[in-house]
Structure 1
């Protein structure tokens, strides 16, 4: 009898301990949050106040993983390729390392008071299943994957991968939205016609996009362009299409908030795509990239550009060309993760406190 009583008490103690643990987990690991102003449930990353950043399986910002974009307002998606790269490889590892470094991100934007997880349903939907042996087949796979994402009404936030990916992504976006405006932040114009006999690569995507009518050329701005060129005016073709070209020299030693006020006027109310090559930043800040160019933008200016997109009708964003093997500190991937969070914060319908 005494033995039965002792075992019963032990069982009660275990149940009590489990109940306490379950209560803790519902507070700390909760990935759903109900907001009374809408009654809708949102994914909310776990707080590092309660859950160690180094724990768990890496997803973007420690958000839940979901296999499809169904039911999402925005989704982080990786495209791990570097087969379009002309110099340093390694960008195929960009999405993986961005996810790892994104564990540092918190739920609110302290600078702008944006609260994306109070306003949008967001998840990490993994990577496009690319073909690392065939770039043209990879472009086809990307295009088909983004058609499915866009069909759900979800806005894709893409982790590259080299800049080739912008071409098939914009093919899918233009099918849904028609020709779009483009805010292109980069050290390079990426408007070459043929490189080493190939028309598809990370130096050609926006030439292909213009040829196929994917861009509204009067609503295209390229910011941060610099470096040596193959001709005296490397950006003549861009200007001839109607693009606004803002070379890096025009950005030195100044805030880019006034520039972005002009860009918002240029873009108007039509759909806009934001494409940010990490090599737009000076390699002193972001050395882990395939084609670095000195005298680039600062991270502050990069953030100003993205925050300056608030109010635009953004239909997609990407952050490309993070090549982790060239930055053993992880800082380039960390910078990329933060810029992606800034992109999330300027999407339509995000709540600001």
Structure 2
């Protein structure tokens, strides 16, 4: 058990804290952090209900409920003993300028990754993943994509900035390889022959065991560098009502956590949680789901990097 003397003095930042009550650090490149958390308050690419720009704030607030645990169940280690996390706050960009936002995300993420740190990003609408993938590609090359969502986001129609077209553009830019990528939870129209990703649709995922889904993911991805992106609308709206494009028939939060937990040992190089829109939430359950999924990703990342002894 950690003694009081070993714990940080929360009074020093009690009114300004980040994810998991970590102090905000606006110079993350100068820190000795292993993982940098960044909020991406952007929803100009949404085609449904706006409000995702408030997602990072809501996730941070909800994460207070997770910060008190010494060891998160069912893990047998205390994350803070092995991983140093800093929260760099929300990305600042010229208001209303999607092009500026896109360039700043890619530039910031590239600097973080080139410094040897990893990144956990909170959106924002799902468009934010595209510039993140561009940055990760510069460091890790072509990646496998594990994409949790109600939608494939592979639609060829749409504007340059559209949260439904990122995974149409990403393979064309060489960022991800669909032949080694999996989409889980899909339950809207898609052309399975057209985009090349393996799809485990929501109805199938709800019938399969978590172990079956994990096995399929591992077989598909292999040892490729893996980027994990979780659109909160992958969850059924009863578990995550606070999102812009809710679709009934989704996964339970329990199954989603079990699948992520099953990624231990895989070569995870990047992570994000997107599309939390707190204006449509109830009792912060969507924000709490987003915060918890992020925390689960961090545990898997730490274990997979061999940091846990």
With the length of structure 2 as denominator, give the TM-score of the two structures: 0.91
Q: C-alpha displacement at 1:113, in angstroms?
A: 2.0
Aligned residues: 300
Q: Judge conservation of contact 1:58–1:103 (CA < 8 Å) in 2.
A: no
- Which residue number in structure 1 is paired with residue 197 of structure 2? 243
Q: Judge conservation of contact 1:66–1:125 (CA < 8 Å) in 2.
A: yes
In terms of mean alpha carbon deviation, does 285-294 or 60-69 score higher? 60-69
**1:62 maps onto 2:3 in alignment:** no
- Which residue number in structure 1 is paired with residue 154 of structure 2? 191
- Which residue number in structure 2 is paired with residue 271 of structure 1? 225
Partner SS, residue 251 of structure 1: helix
Q: Judge conservation of contact 2:178–2:198 (CA < 8 Å) in 1.
A: no
- Which residue number in structure 2 is paired with residue 349 of structure 1? 305
Partner SS, residue 225 of structure 1: coil
Instruction: State how far apart, in whole Å, the 2-side matches of 1:68 and 1:87 are.
Output: 34
Partner SS, residue 177 of structure 2: strand
**1:163 maps onto 2:142 in alignment:** no
Distance 1:98 1:314, change over 3 A: same
Q: Judge conservation of contact 1:282–1:297 (CA < 8 Å) in 2.
A: yes
In terms of mean alpha carbon deviation, does 122-131 or 311-320 score higher? 122-131
| Higher Cα Rg, which structure | 1
Instruction: State how far apart, in whole Å, the 1-side matches of 2:56 and 2:307 are.
Output: 27
1:205 to 135, 144, 166: 166
Instruction: State how far apart, in whole Å, the 2-side matches of 1:90 and 1:281 are.
Output: 18
Partner SS, residue 126 of structure 1: strand
Q: C-alpha displacement at 1:123, in angstroms?
A: 1.2
Instruction: State how far apart, in whole Å, the 2-side matches of 1:114 and 1:191 are.
Output: 38
Q: C-alpha displacement at 1:127, in angstroms?
A: 1.6
- Which residue number in structure 2 is paired with residue 303 of structure 1? 257
- Which residue number in structure 1 is paired with residue 97 of structure 2? 134
Q: Judge conservation of contact 2:168–2:195 (CA < 8 Å) in 1.
A: no
Partner SS, residue 181 of structure 2: strand
Q: Judge conservation of contact 1:160–1:319 (CA < 8 Å) in 2.
A: yes
Distance 1:280 1:262, change over 3 A: same
Q: Judge conservation of contact 2:16–2:24 (CA < 8 Å) in 1.
A: no
- Which residue number in structure 2 is paired with residue 37 of structure 1? none
Partner SS, residue 248 of structure 2: coil
1:262 to 216, 222, 229: 216
Query: Unmatched 5+ residue regions in structure 2?
Result: none
**1:116 maps onto 2:79 in alignment:** yes
Q: C-alpha displacement at 1:111, in angstroms?
A: 1.1
Q: C-alpha displacement at 1:264, in angstroms?
A: 1.6
- Which residue number in structure 1 is paired with residue 37 of structure 2? 76
Instruction: State how far apart, in whole Å, the 2-side matches of 1:171 and 1:90 are.
Output: 25
Q: Judge conservation of contact 1:116–1:350 (CA < 8 Å) in 2.
A: no
Q: Judge conservation of contact 1:182–1:221 (CA < 8 Å) in 2.
A: yes
Instruction: State how far apart, in whole Å, the 2-side matches of 1:140 and 1:335 are.
Output: 29
Q: C-alpha displacement at 1:241, in angstroms?
A: 4.1
Q: C-alpha displacement at 1:211, in angstroms?
A: 1.2
Q: Judge conservation of contact 2:19–2:63 (CA < 8 Å) in 1.
A: yes
Q: Judge conservation of contact 1:278–1:286 (CA < 8 Å) in 2.
A: yes
1:1-80 to structure 2, matched below 5 A, reads: 26-30=5-9, 55-70=14-29, 71-80=32-41
